[in-house]
Amino acid sequence: MTTRVTTKRPAGSEPPVVQFDRYTSKPMAAARWVAQRVLLGGVIRSILTVRILGRERLADLRGAFVVVANHSSHLDAPLVFTTLPRRLARYLAAGAAADYFFDVRWRKGLTALFFNAFPIHRSGLNRPASEARSLLQRGVPLLVFPEGTRSKNGSIGTFKSGAAALANQTNVPCVPVAIIGAGLAHPRGSKWPKSGRPPVGVVYGDPVFAQAGETPTDYMRRVRGEVQRLHDEHAHAVLSRGRATSGGKR
């Protein structure tokens, strides 16, 4: 549904200006479908061998949620957007570093088109009047990489608790996602993924709600534990199958 923002006007004033929100606009969602599933998805399938696991765990997921994934490569966000079930990815908005993706107009436009992006200040998400919180309250799901930056050695680092605080405050679940092999396929510092369609995996876990009285730090610790468990459980199978993996049904 397209969200319209209006303000109350004094008697005798001009009618309020109606603003259409790009995050929930149906025309923008249609444009993103082409950008993500046709253009970006075509590139992903041509350069990588993708295995998708666990999407059946999301069958009952409705409304807003926060996708929480490990981060080791520029491939991570494209992998989530092109593998998450379409009904869940339609309005998915990705957090992007404000000091990089929103500092130049052309980069801001492309990031918004392909990833429905909203700005994240690297100091964290848990700030008053956060745009991320507003999006969740309006039913827009979010994709967040709580490590804050790509891993330098491939291991999963510390998860900042801001995304867990947002999920708790808006009563939505975190969806743990383990991305396997992306840092090997497109290492930090490289300009393009390795040749030969290297294997990667995207593993979706069960949605996780905060427990009564749980702090954001403890909540995020549980979510990170699920990401690590999913990664450890499936890494060998994903990385050893290589080109024999078909990529799964879409």
Q: What confidence score (pLDDT) does residue 74 get?
A: 92
What is the domain count for the chain? Answer: 1
Among 3-12, 50-59, 227-236, the range scoring the smallest mean pLDDT is 3-12
Structural domain of 38: 20-244
- List b or e across 25-62, with b for residues whose CB sees 16 or more CB atoms inside 10 angstroms: beebbeebeebbeeebbeebeebbbbbbbbbeebeebe
Query: Do the domain assignments include residue 4?
Result: no
Give residue-wise pLDDT tens across range 183-228: 999 988 888 999 999 999 999 999 999 999 999 999 999 999 999 9
Q: Does residue 138 lie within any of the structural domains? A: yes
Task: Residue 111: name the closest of 204, 58, 67, 119 by CA.
Answer: 119
Weakest mean pLDDT among 45-59, 80-94, 96-110, 129-143: 96-110
Domain-embedded: residue 249: no
Instruction: Count CB-CB contacts under 10 A for residue 134.
Output: 13
| More confidently predicted of 239 and 120 | 239
pLDDT digits (tens, 9 = 90+) for 75-111: 999 999 999 999 999 999 997 777 766 677 777 778 8
Q: How far apart are CA 142 and CA 168, in angstroms?
A: 14
**What is the percentage of the chain residues whose pLDDT exceeds 70?**
83
**Closest by alpha carbon to 155, among 179, 120, 190?**
179
Prediction pTM value: 0.82
Q: Report if residue 1 sits inside a domain.
A: no
Identify the CATH number of the domain in which residue 225 sits.
3.40.1130.10
15 part of a folded domain: no
What per-residue confidence (pLDDT) applies to 153?
83
Domain annotation covers residue 45: yes
